[in-house]
Amino acid sequence: MRVLLLLFCLACLLLQPPPCRAAEGKLLLTVVDAKTHKPVACRLHLSGPAKRPKKIEGYPFWSDHFVFPGKISLNLPTGFYTFELERGPEYYNVTGNFTIERFADDSKDVELRRVADMSDEGWWSGDLHLRRGIRDLEMVISADDLHVVQATTWWNDKNDLSGRNFKETKNRLVTFDRDRVYELFCGGFTRAGTEVLCFHLPEPMPLQAQTDEYPSLAQHLQQARQKENSELWVDATASYGWDMPMLVANGLVDSIEVANSHFGRKVMQPDIKLGKPRDADRYAGPFGYARWSQDVYFKLLDCGLRIPPTAGSGSGVSPNPAGYNRVYVHLDSSFDYQQWWKSLKAGQVVITNGPLLRPRVENELPGHTFRGEEGRELDLQIGMTLTTREPISYLEIVQDGQVRHTIRFEDYVKDGRLPPLHFKRSGWFLLRAVAEISDTYRFAMTGPYYVEFSEKPRINKKSAQFFLDWVYERAKQIQIDDPQKRREVMEYHRKARDFWKNLVEKGNDE
């Protein structure tokens, strides 16, 4: 009897229908370039019925988006979906929505139209701060139409952030699609309120620090730079790091990210607790950070220093997609990775997270030095090409750290002219375009142009004093009990004190 009852129960279980699965539909999405009609890799921000970003298995996902190579089959639960389809600032975005019905089997072709073709005009894009998985890099780079990427694979004392065994990696540089390059073994340090990135290394160089102050970051960078055949490039991720004036004074900074990971696609990211704090009254509001970051950089230029501005998305730690903040570098000929860095060093750059600005001043690129004659005024006519997906609020001409002209974009459009600049003494200037967006600071900025009379750069006493005071303030923070270790660290700060003090004494402009 028990056997018959058991067989009956098993039969009932077998006759029951399988567990219910959520009804699904399928959408085959193909994205092509409107001009070539060929599929192009792109980025998709897709939100479903629950209003949460959708992940698609097998495709690189970060924060609120994933990338795919131009064609993808989306198997999705039924419901209403919204999307934003993007491919960097050189293409118009496509936004929209669709509904997945039960058992749907549909297809959709989307054309992406260009805003501009920057590389065709000699401007080649780069992202100097990317922390995405190495296995995903080629698709991530292609999807946002980048050409030069520095792949962060170590930080402080931790190596292999990407989950890959670098002992198996033979090539530091990886080239694909003929003109896209990413570089491995890039990494960074966060020490004593300062953050820097290190490029062009033959292998990772994590720092086993005993404390936050010892050994000095300057010592580590200096030793790396002094190695035979060293090509170390140091990119500061912010202008306001506590040790920035010290590192600059010791010749250990090659570039500064004026557009960094805190410039977010949707909103400005919260301030980090690193670095010299800004004046909350003078730099108030959501864009105060952006103005502070730029103004500190301008003060360095005011001291006669020529450090090119750069940009990095921070994608992988910041919610930004790759290349959201990017630097464009001009090349006179076809793409060449080594020449890209030489042109960056020469300051032939534009940084942006939106507007596409291509300047020419008297037919010269950023980084150029104009020579003036004593007793005669130097007049310069500014020319530029500006393309943008979003409305531009205003254009600015920044001269010697001050906004010399503010031009409403509609006024510029009427005649296509910018006010000329007049110099009677040495100085510098640059162009800036700011988009009409309330939630985040979207802008483009050229690298600086320079003006010299009698072969002497402008050195502003107040700006030099600003950094000298900064060095004193920083030195007071250093707490090291061991006398020898303290002497080693303080030596770099003493050199910085002497450097900035000398500039104050040499200052030729108040």
Q: Which of 166, 157, 196 is closest to 184 using CA atoms?
A: 166
- Six-digit token string for 376: 């005669």
| Burial grade of 254 (CB within 10 A; 0-12, 13-18, 19 or more) | buried
Please report the pLDDT score of residue 161 as a whole number. Answer: 59
Q: How many CA atoms lie within 13 A of 438 on its CB side?
A: 0
Residue 357: how many other CB atoms lie within 10 Å: 24
Least-confidence region, from 186-195, 245-254, 378-387 = 186-195
Confidence band for 273, pLDDT divided at 50, 70 and 90: low
Average pLDDT over the chain, rounded to an integer: 91
Q: Would you tell me the crossing angle of helices 217-226 and 483-506 to the nearest 10 degrees?
A: 80
Q: Which range (96-110, 266-280, 480-494) has the least confidence?
A: 266-280
Phi, psi of 193 (to 5 degrees): 80, 20
Distances (CA, A) of 186 to 173, 203, 315, 387, 454: 11, 8, 15, 32, 41
Does the pLDDT value for residue 361 go beyond 90? yes
Beta-ladder partners of 99: 80
**Which tens digit of pLDDT belongs to each residue from 454-502?**
989 999 999 999 999 999 999 999 999 999 999 999 999 999 999 999 9
Count the alpha carbons within 13 Å of 99 in the hemisphere toward its beta carbon.
2
The CATH number for 355-458, chosen from 3.30.70.20, 3.40.50.11260, 2.60.40.10, 3.100.10.20, is 2.60.40.10
φ and ψ of 10, to 5 deg: -65, -40
Residue 9 confidence (pLDDT): 36
Query: Residue 169: which pLDDT band, with cuts at 50, 70 and 90?
Result: low
The token pair at 463 is 């700006």
**Which pLDDT band, with edges at 50, 70 and 90, does 167 fall under?**
low
pLDDT at 193: 84
Cα separation, 130 vs 327, whole angstroms: 13
H/E segment holding residue 126: strand 123-130
Sequence-distant (6+) residues with CB within 8 A of 481 are none
Query: What is residue 278's three-state secondary structure?
Result: coil
pLDDT at 21 (0 to 100): 46
pLDDT of 154 higher than 80: yes
With contact defined as beta carbons under 8 Å apart, do 139 and 121 qualify?
no
For the chain, how big is the Rg over CA atoms in Å? 27
Per-residue pLDDT, 206: 79
Domains 24-112 and 116-353 share a fold: no
Place 7 in a pLDDT band, splitting at 50, 70 and 90: very low
Closest by alpha carbon to 397, among 350, 439, 445, 352?
445
CA–CA separation, 241 and 218 (whole Å): 13
Q: Which amino acid is at 65?
A: H
For residue 160, the model assigns a pLDDT of 65
Q: What is the pLDDT of residue 476?
A: 96
Contact 139, 69 (CB under 8 A): yes
- Check if the beta carbon of residue 39 is closer than 8 Å to that of residue 117: no
Closest Cα to residue 324, out of 363, 366, 362, 352?
A: 352
Residues 6+ apart with CB under 8 A from 77: 22, 23, 24, 48, 49, 100
C-beta separation of 247 from 221 below 8 A:
yes
pLDDT digits (tens, 9 = 90+) for 371-411: 999 999 999 999 999 999 999 999 999 999 999 999 999 99
Q: Band of the pLDDT at 114, cuts 50, 70, 90?
A: very high
Domain boundaries, the chain: 24-112, 116-353, 355-458, 462-506
pLDDT-derived band at 162, boundaries 50, 70, 90: low
**Sheet (strand 61-62) strand order:** 61-62, 65-68, 42-47, 79-86, 94-100
* Cα–Cα distance measured from residue 469 to residue 221, given in angstroms and rounded to the nearest whole number: 24
The CATH number for 116-353, chosen from 3.40.50.10860, 3.30.360.10, 3.20.20.140, 3.40.50.11900, is 3.20.20.140
What mean pLDDT comes out for the span 235-248? 97
Q: How many CB atoms lie within 10 A of CB 275?
A: 22
Query: At 478, is the secondary structure helix, strand, or coil?
Result: coil
Helix (H) or strand (E) holding 149: strand 148-155
Q: What percent of the chain has pLDDT over 90?
A: 82
What distance in Å separates the CA atoms of residue 428 and residue 339, rounded to the nearest whole number? 25
Could you say which architecture CATH assigns to the domain 24-112? Sandwich (2.60)
pLDDT band at 177 (very low <50, low <70, confident <90, very high): very high
Cis amide linkage into residue 17, ω under 30° from 0: no
